[in-house]
Homo-oligomer: A and B are copies of this chain.
């Protein structure tokens, strides 16, 4: 092993998704300083670490850093209110030597699944942050276009195998609301009848709360039953995206 450690930078970047108007939005910030000043980027920053006068390391773990960055940008406090319900998950690291013009920086990227959070407070940070539809999240700073693309593929796959779609919803939700999450993330409508039966047949995906919605749909229809997230960590059987046969070959 080469025991000399070059001074590299380590950042965390968070790809925070939420759902508004039946589509997927991502949280972006406007950069206040160089490089890419004025450009849009993912919320993120350097992992904090320092030594005290005895030489002992005081630093944060990667998960902590990601949660801190998300809290800073949204103006919410970690573990409080809506942020307490956000699911954070590391998904990849990026370390191309030229990805940051200042120095060699390795970025650890996180996915965040957020219920509809409030718009970030404008004066909360030097940078302004805001939610943007994923289709409009282009021409980002650094290699963040690639990170968003990878994150999108990851979240689409995650919804197939885990019950984390519920992390986009409130504590109680209807099957139709859950279906809307899948439709927004996968970018296609799903057959309502089959989705309904499928969700209820997967053990631990959702559990009934016994209640129903106060009103029917905006344009009519019966009042729907309400459910809560169940205790499953994985969906078995999985809820696979339709028509993926063509994505399989080289």
Closest Cβ–Cβ distance, residue A226 to chain B (whole Å) = 21
Does A178 make an interface contact (CB < 8 A)? Answer: no
Contact of A46 among B4, B97, B108 (CB under 8 A): B4
Interface hub of A33, A57, A61, A96 (most chain B Cβ within 10 A): A57
Closest Cβ–Cβ distance, residue A72 to chain B (whole Å) = 9
- Count this chain's copies in the assembly: 2
Could you tell me if B106 and A2 are in contact, using CB atoms closer than 8 angstroms? no
Report the separation of the CA atoms of residues A62 and B92 in the bound assembly, to the nearest whole angstrom. Answer: 11
Interface hub of A4, A127, A244, A248 (most chain B Cβ within 10 A): A248
Could you tell me if A204 and B249 are in contact, using CB atoms closer than 8 angstroms? yes
Chain A positions 46 through 61: 1 when the CB is less than 8 Å from some CB of chain B, otherwise 0: 1111100000011111
Closest Cβ–Cβ distance, residue A219 to chain B (whole Å) = 37
Q: Top 5 A-B pairs ranked by shortest CB distance?
A: A59-B97, A5-B9, A1-B45, A62-B95, A49-B104
Could you tell me if B10 and A106 are in contact, using CB atoms closer than 8 angstroms? yes
Residues of B within 8 A of A95 (CB): 10, 47, 61-62, 65, 108
Residues of B within 8 A of A248 (CB): 203-204, 232-236
Residues of B within 8 A of A232 (CB): 248-250
Report the separation of the CA atoms of residues A233 and B245 in the bound assembly, to the nearest whole angstrom. Answer: 11
Does A23 make an interface contact (CB < 8 A)? Answer: no
Nearest residue in B to A59 (C-beta to C-beta)?
B97
Does A247 make an interface contact (CB < 8 A)? Answer: yes
Closest Cβ–Cβ distance, residue A211 to chain B (whole Å) = 24
Does A105 make an interface contact (CB < 8 A)? Answer: yes
Could you tell me if B6 and A48 are in contact, using CB atoms closer than 8 angstroms? yes
Closest Cβ–Cβ distance, residue A247 to chain B (whole Å) = 7
Contact of A10 among B10, B59, B92 (CB under 8 A): B10
Could you tell me if B6 and A60 are in contact, using CB atoms closer than 8 angstroms? no
